[in-house]
């Protein structure tokens, strides 16, 4: 089966190993007999609802975020339509921020958001940097840990009742205080975790792949296990670095 990915603004938002994340999805799909077709969508390019099984938005510097923010905000209806039609979405760091209602920079200027996630982000005085470990339960009764690296000045505030991606075990998370990290809305997930994210969290890579396949199959398939010894070791090393921070900062 061909899995079509719409990679938004890879020429602008590309500093957190975003192409590496795509390479991991492609490899894991191929091992199950599927083909990942990654299509770049940049400024002014059409985004046709129903055409993509997965939308991906990566991270970038403030300058690049400011350049693409109006274009991304103008796609709000198209992205909503894609998600309503069953597509999955993964947004990392800057992409995560800009899929909220707005991002307010340190000068007090608001970058418009696409309004996909029920949240808003305001830049703080101090960057939140370091290895991070989360506890997640994306499926009832199935608890996993996510390990990665965070580097952001933005304080992201979820609306009351919004579902976070996970609970912070070690690190800062959305705002350094709530104990929440990321946001989940059905098959759409946003997170500050990078470093990159998917190579060291194979269970999460497979969850994303299954959600994308569900766009065509109607429900997420059960993917056959892969020999993930190296990936699990990478996860363990990243988790150990996060634990050295002592506790939630």
User: Which residues are marked as active site?
Assistant: 93, 194
From CA 182, how far away is CA 193, in angstroms rounded?
Answer: 8
Residue 213 CB partners (closer than 8 Å, separation 6+): 1, 3, 34, 53, 220, 221
Sheet holding 88-92, edge to edge: 35-41, 2-8, 54-57, 88-92, 188-191, 183-185
Beta carbons within 10 angstroms of residue 108's beta carbon: 8
CA-based angle 40:44:49, to the nearest 5? 65
């Amino acid at each position: 089966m061909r899995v079509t990915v719409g990679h938004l603004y890879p020429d602008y938002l590309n500093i957190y190993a975003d192409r590496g994340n795509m390479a991991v999805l492609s490899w894991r799909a191929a091992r199950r007999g599927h083909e990942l077709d990654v299509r770049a969508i940049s400024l002014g390019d059409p985004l046709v609802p129903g055409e993509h099984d997965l939308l991906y938005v990566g991270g970038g510097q403030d300058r690049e975020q400011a350049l693409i923010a109006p274009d991304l905000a103008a796609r709000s209806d198209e992205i909503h339509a894609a998600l309503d039609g069953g597509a999955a979405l993964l947004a990392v760091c800057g992409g995560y921020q800009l899929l909220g209602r707005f991002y307010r920079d340190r000068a007090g200027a608001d970058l418009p958001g696409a309004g996909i996630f029920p949240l808003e982000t305001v830049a703080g005085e101090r960057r939140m940097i370091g290895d991070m470990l989360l506890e997640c339960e994306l499926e009832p009764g199935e608890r996993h840990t996510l390990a990665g690296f965070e580097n952001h000045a933005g304080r992201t505030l979820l609306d009351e009742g919004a579902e976070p991606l996970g609970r912070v075990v070690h690190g800062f998370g959305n705002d350094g205080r709530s104990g929440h990290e990321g946001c989940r809305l059905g098959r759409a997930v946003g997170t500050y975790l990078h470093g990159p994210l998917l190579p060291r969290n194979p269970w999460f890579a497979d969850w994303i792949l299954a959600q994308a396949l569900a766009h065509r199959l109607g429900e997420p398939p059960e993917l056959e296990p892969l020999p993930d010894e190296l990936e699990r070791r990478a996860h363990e090393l990243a988790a150990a670095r996060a634990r050295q921070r002592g506790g939630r900062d």
